[in-house]
Structure 1
Amino acid sequence: MPKVKPGGSVSPGVRRYGTKSRYTTEELERILSDIKCGKISQREASKLYNIPRNTLRNKLLGQHNKKVGRPTIFSKEEELFFIQHILYLSDEGIPISLFDVRCVVKCYLDTQNRKVQQFKGNMPGWDWSQSFLERHKAALKQRLETNISRRRAQVNEETLNEFFNNFEGEVSEVSACNIYNYDETGFHDNPSRRKLLFRRSCRHPERIRNSTKSCYTVVFCGSADGNFIPPYVIMKGTQKWSDWVYGAPEGTRLNTSKSGWIDNKVFDDWFEYHFLPIAKTKPGKIILIGDNMSAHLSIYTLKLAAENDVRLLFFPPNSTHLLQPLDVAYFSSLKTYWRQVLSSWRETKGGKKVVALPKAVFCQLLKATLEKGQETGCNNLRKGFECSGLNPVNRDKVLQKLPMYARTTDEVREDVGNEFRKYIESVRTNDLSAVHRARKFCLPVRAGKSVSVEEVEAYYANKETEEKQKMTSKGRGGARTRGGRLKSSSVRTQGGRLQSRNDSCSL
């Protein structure tokens, strides 16, 4: 081991193994140029830049110009071959790890009938992979992956171009204040995790604080000029109580559903009693755009929209991470503020006692969250519309975000090596370019195009006919309730009153 002085420097005459040179190639060339021009002597340069004088002399005489260290196992052309195909796999959305590279290299050596003594069983070791990565750090770098579903990966350039072709015709001559985007999001009872101090030997760092998996749904809606309409809160249950909206943001409306998430009945109520009163105050055509979800498509809502000059548009399936302004630029910061507010409340006396977040407290915390992000919320919404290419309309803003495998490209290049080709076929399935329409998205909707009532009615009529034919072929009758009567869409409350679709409370 080298002897280290109290100041931290290594004793002279002791070689520091495993360290790199204190100078770069560019710095050495500049120093040699100064010596040749007579600006500085070899001795002065050696002391000033801490470079051995023999090194300077050898470089000036043109000696020892070869690369330092043992020669690489593979030639420069072979390593360039590996780099090209590693980058190709990364562009295709199927990146590989260093271990995968070692396996491919072993197969390559076995195919060439080459035996490398430095590799045990022709399998490159961990040291070789690190050296390989260091030699090509300008082209390669290890990064943490972000997994996306195959359906989301199927969103390609053709899909987005079709959406924008329809969208441009719908929003022409429509002002920014009349273009709205809506979406629902969940607020979980799970405070943020922080790095805290624990005993070094602690294997399971824990903190005593209540948290549950409960979640409250809130529908947000805002225009392209950065103005929000009040939130719409959805809670799980059948009854509604006035204290649930106590301390809520002004104009908040509350509704319930059996699942706690949005459904057709809740969406109809939101559109008719929460969105339309605000939309009627705006002159001209209104554009309301949201994600392609069956709960957002209702004949009742479409009739109301047609009567009030509101056009409902939908994004392509699995494309909200690229096109939905609320997802792109607003929800992330809002959830950060929510976790901060929830964490602070959990430190209070009331927050320590209860296990689950009470419904009567949620709206108060929601108000504190919105006030915390009020300064940046409107600007984030405007930026969301801009980054999504919706206002002003600019499809290039979205197309440039697509990864290489989602863009219009040719077939697999001819120079792809056989071993990498085998790797693609055996380990991964290269079918990301094949777009399969999922069942739940078989709605009469064209992305970026408004929907008419007649199209939806015809769709549901055909669907009902097909279901009856299937039941008839099985020899069964239609679904019946007890007593042979059809179930009513209304829900009878404890007081005997029927609770209809329009029965929701607001603040």
Structure 2
Amino acid sequence: MPRNYKRVSVSTSDGRRHYTVERRGSLLECASADVRDGKLSVRQAAKKYDVSKSTLHDYMTKKHVKKPGGQTVFTPEEELHIVNRVITLGEWGLPIDTFELRMLIKCYLDERGITVKCFKNNLPGTDWSSCFLLRHKNQLAQRVSQNIKVARAKVGPIEINQYFDNLEKTLKDVPPSNIINYDETNLSDDPGNKKILVRRGTRYPERVMNHTKSNISIMFSCSGSGKMLPPYVVYKAVNLYDTWTEGGPSNVRYNRTESGWFDSNTFEDWFFKVGLPHAKRQDSKVVFIGDNLASHLSLSVVEACEEHNIDFVLLPPNSTHLTQPLDVAVFRAVKTHWRKILSEFKTSSIGRRSVSLPKSEFPKLLGQLLNRISDNIMKNIMNGFRKCGITPLNRQEPVNQAEEDSPEAAGASNDGTLETQELEASTITDGTAMTQATGTSTGTGDEMCAIDESDIVMYLQEPILDKRERMIFDLDVTSWPQ
């Protein structure tokens, strides 16, 4: 809680005035007005309104323009600017807590090169956030969120319908070329496993190929009309060297972070160098659709969106397999081609000598990747927007998929599978005179053959496709590269 200062009560004989700060301003304004109009002198006005003569004189000469007491770090205009941005984030479906508010202020100060001595490492303390909310209690309020179970947190038809209710209002009269879907993924330094020919009976087939667990983050973005925006690469490094950006496509942007992942600074750089230039070329409102990570948005991004008629639509949590076009129809082809390109590089002379993927070689490999996916990329993007119900706007397909994936449907499916398995097991055991206790089966002759229980288990288990694979199979498979 903030440290609330309480003034000690004093008598009037010491010359102090016992008016509140709010009343003080109105009294001084009335007194100064009478003096300016020539009705009273400074001494007479001070006596009439019960204020100090020196205080009234300083007020009229604007000697002390600041309010009494401790001063705030930001001006009232700056604080109002912050309040409006916080409200905008909440309207976009991304409410923040006090810690995220403090991190937002730290990024705001770091971007402008401002150092506040009372903030440790430019990070405001809990007292500042509490006092900030107290000063703006008419605009902002804290509410306690409820804890829900994991099964309830999973996305279902209700969440998808709520998302589409907001989407329909936001996308009204917005053409497909003005709808941008963005998502970050990573390209790993592991070409993956593949089937090889070995001597029969080999238990541990291996191949010699250098690989590591390192990844390079990359932001892809595309429009509903099938256009791919320039990719944005983020290396895991402290510094960014020129050799890491040479030899690749000319329109790709590069950056680096210590973690190798996107943060508010890198997302802001992507927005101003890739997203905003595309939005400025459009004649009407532009909508960005992406995940709801708090690290993706800063005050500068929100301000630019309000200035250039840009809206953000944030996807519901755990729903990217239903609502993210890049996840649904693009990233699978990207990862498949990347593993092939990486395998070819690993077998080259440079790749065999390198323990890991050199960052100086990555731009060239990225250029090969973009060339290989260019033939079908437009069709895949448009299929992804259609499958997610964005263009054309159709909520039925994602809602139906969410109903199939809901816990209630899964429970009913599991019950039916268990009943079927029990029926099949009883049919097998009763129809062929199989004695499960002895593990033998009697045929028409005198021969005896052993029954392996693992065969029965494998027979009863049915393959279950992953949610995302089922969605991909529903697409036009001819559009995927062979």
Q: Give the TM-score of the pair, scaled to structure 2.
A: 0.53
Deviation at 1:323, TM superposition (A): 0.3
Contact 2:219 2:233 in 1 (8 A): yes
Q: For the structure 1 residues 336 and 173, does the alpha-carbon distance in structure 2 shift closer, same or farther, using more than 3 Å as the test? A: same
Q: What's the counterpart of residue 89 of structure 1?
A: none
Corresponding residue for residue 267 of structure 2: 267
- Cα deviations by residue, 1:259-307 (Å, 9 ceiling, x for unpaired): 0000001111111122211211111000001011111222221111111
Aligned equivalents of 2:192, 2:238: Cα separation in 1: 31
- Identity over aligned pairs, percent: 37
- Number of residue pairs aligned between Structure 1 and Structure 2: 270
CA offset at residue 403 of structure 1?
4.6
CA-based RMSD of the aligned residues comes to 2.7
Q: Determine if contact 2:237/2:260 at 8 Å carries over to the other structure.
A: yes
In structure 1, the partner of 2:234 is 234
Q: Provide runs of 4+ in structure 1 moved above 3 Å.
A: 149-153
Partners of 1:315 and 1:303 in 2: CA distance: 21
Q: Displacement of 1:378 after TM fit?
A: 1.2
1:102-113 → structure 2 map (5 Å cutoff) = none
Aligned mates of 1:192, 1:150 — CA distance in 2: 32
Kept after mapping to 1: 8 A contact 2:190/2:339 = yes
Distance 1:228 1:234, change over 3 A: same
Aligned to 2:250: 250
C-alpha separation between the residues in 1 aligned to 2:190 and 2:359?
Answer: 15
Q: Deviations over 1:34-70 (max 9, x none)?
A: xxxxxxxxxxxxxxxxxxxxxxxxxxxxxxxxxxxxx
Residue equivalent to 1:318: 318
Residue in 2 aligned with 1:165? 165
CA distance, structure 1, for counterparts of residue 255 and residue 287 of structure 2: 24
Q: Could you tell me whether the CA contact under 8 Å between 2:234 and 2:257 is conserved in 1? A: yes
Give the number of the structure whose residues are more often helix, by fraction.
2
**Letter aligned with residue 312 of structure 1:** F
Q: Does the aligned pair in 2 maintain the 1:226–1:378 contact within 8 Å?
A: yes
Matched letter for residue 205 of structure 1: P
* Counterpart residue number, 1:191: 191
- Residue aligning to 1:278: 278
Amino acid in the other structure paired with 1:209? M
Is the partner of 1:321 in helix, strand or coil?
Answer: helix
Can you give the 5+ residue segments of structure 2 that lack an aligned partner in the other structure?
A: 1-148, 420-482
Q: Which residue of 1 aligns with 2:362?
A: 362
CA offsets 1:163-207 (integer angstroms, 9 cap, x no match)? 000100000100000000000100001113221111223211110
- d(CA) in 2 for partners of 1:404, 1:182: 26
Structure 2 counterpart of 1:386: 386
**Counterpart mapping for 1:296-311 below 5 A:** 296-311=296-311
Alignment partner, residue 208 of structure 1: 208
Are the aligned partners of 2:157 and 2:403 in contact in 1 as well (CA < 8 Å)? no
Could you say if the C-alpha distance between residues 192 and 160 of structure 1 is closer, same or farther in structure 2, counting changes exceeding 3 Å?
same
Q: 2:160, 2:402 within 8 Å by CA — same for their partners in 1? A: no
Looking at structure 1, the residues matched to 274 and 163 of structure 2 have their Cα atoms a distance apart, in angstroms, of: 28
Rounded to whole Å, the distance in 2 between the matches of 1:347 and 1:339 is: 12
In structure 2, the CA distance between the partners of 1:359 and 1:336, relative to structure 1 (3 Å rule), is: same
Query: Does structure 2 conserve the Cα–Cα contact (< 8 Å) formed by 1:153 and 1:406?
Result: no
Structure 1 CA distance for aligned equivalents of residues 270 and 395 of structure 2: 30
For 1:82, the equivalent position in structure 2 comes to none
In structure 2, do the counterparts of structure 1 residues 376 and 307 end up closer, same or farther at CA, with 3 Å as the change threshold?
same
Pairwise CA distance, 1:405: 6.0
Deviations 1:348-376 (A, max 9, x none): 11110001001111111011011011001
- Unaligned 5+ segments in structure 1 are 1-148, 421-507
What is the letter of the counterpart of residue 241 of structure 1?
Y
TM-score, normalised with respect to structure 1: 0.51
**d(CA) in 1 for partners of 2:387 and 2:327?**
11
Residue 152 of structure 1: CA displacement?
9.5
Please list, as runs of the form range in 1=range in 2, the aligned pairs for 1:53-452 lying within 5 A after superposition: 154-404=154-404, 406=406
Which moves more between the two structures, 199-208 or 389-398? 199-208
Q: 1:385 to 1:407 in 2, by over 3 A?
A: farther
Preserved CA contact (<8 Å) 1:210 1:346? yes
Shift of the 297–174 alpha-carbon distance from structure 1 to 2, 3 Å rule, reads same
Task: Provide the rounded CA distance (Å) in 2 between the counterparts of 1:233 and 1:269.
Answer: 11
SS at match of 1:192: coil
Q: Secondary structure at the match of 1:366?
A: helix
Counterparts of 1:356 and 1:250, CA distance in 2: 25
Moved more, 390-399 or 324-333: 390-399
User: Counterpart amino acid of 2:221?
Assistant: C
Q: CA deviation at 1:153?
A: 7.2
| Residues in 1 aligned to 2:365 and 2:152: alpha-carbon distance in whole angstroms | 33
Pair 405,370 (structure 1): closer, same or farther in 2 beyond 3 Å = closer
Q: Which amino acid aligns with 1:362?
A: F
Q: Secondary structure at the match of 1:217?
A: strand
SS in 2 for 1:402: helix
Q: How do 1:24-39 residues align onto structure 2 when only pairs under 5 Å count?
A: none
Instruction: Name the structure, 1 or 2, with higher relative contact order (CA <8 Å, separation 6+).
Output: 1
Residue identity matched to 1:202: T
Letter of the 1:166 partner, please give it: N
SS state at 1:200 partner: coil
